Amino acid sequence: MYSETTGTNPLGAKNEFALEELTGRWKSREGAPDIRVYNDSERKNGCFFMEFAFKTGELFRCRIKKNQGIRYVNLYGVMSLFYNVDKDVLQLSAYGKYYRVED
């Protein structure tokens, strides 16, 4: 886990951000599965989900949750989300950096 107070956050990413900023498709340059972040407005309170697309054609959808100020998803284990607004880079603790894909 990165700490903003100790200076060990190499991306300058923050764990406090609006989920609307993350909506869209993201791709890893490190070979991790592609992801899509979307708002399911039909659900109560308009929950945000992260969808993982694995090469085998399998899709996994995980609700984005928040606990003690940390945003995370639970896909066979908890993965924290960090986002650098200035560089538009999303980082998942288990998969690394993601870059936005233009539609």
In angstroms, rounded to a whole number, what is the distance separating the alpha carbons of residues 6 and 18?
A: 23
What is the per-residue pLDDT for 76?
A: 85
Reported confidence tier of residue 98, pLDDT bands at 50, 70, 90: very high
Domain boundaries, the chain: 19-95
pLDDT of residue 48 exceeding 90: yes
Reported confidence tier of residue 99, pLDDT bands at 50, 70, 90: very high
pTM greater than 0.95 = no
Q: Count the neighbouring beta carbons within 10 Å of the beta carbon of residue 12.
A: 13
The model's pLDDT over 10-41, given as tens digits with 9 standing for 90+, comes to 555 566 688 888 999 999 989 899 999 999 87
In angstroms, rounded to a whole number, what is the distance separating the alpha carbons of residues 48 and 101?
A: 18
- Strand, helix or coil for residue 22: helix
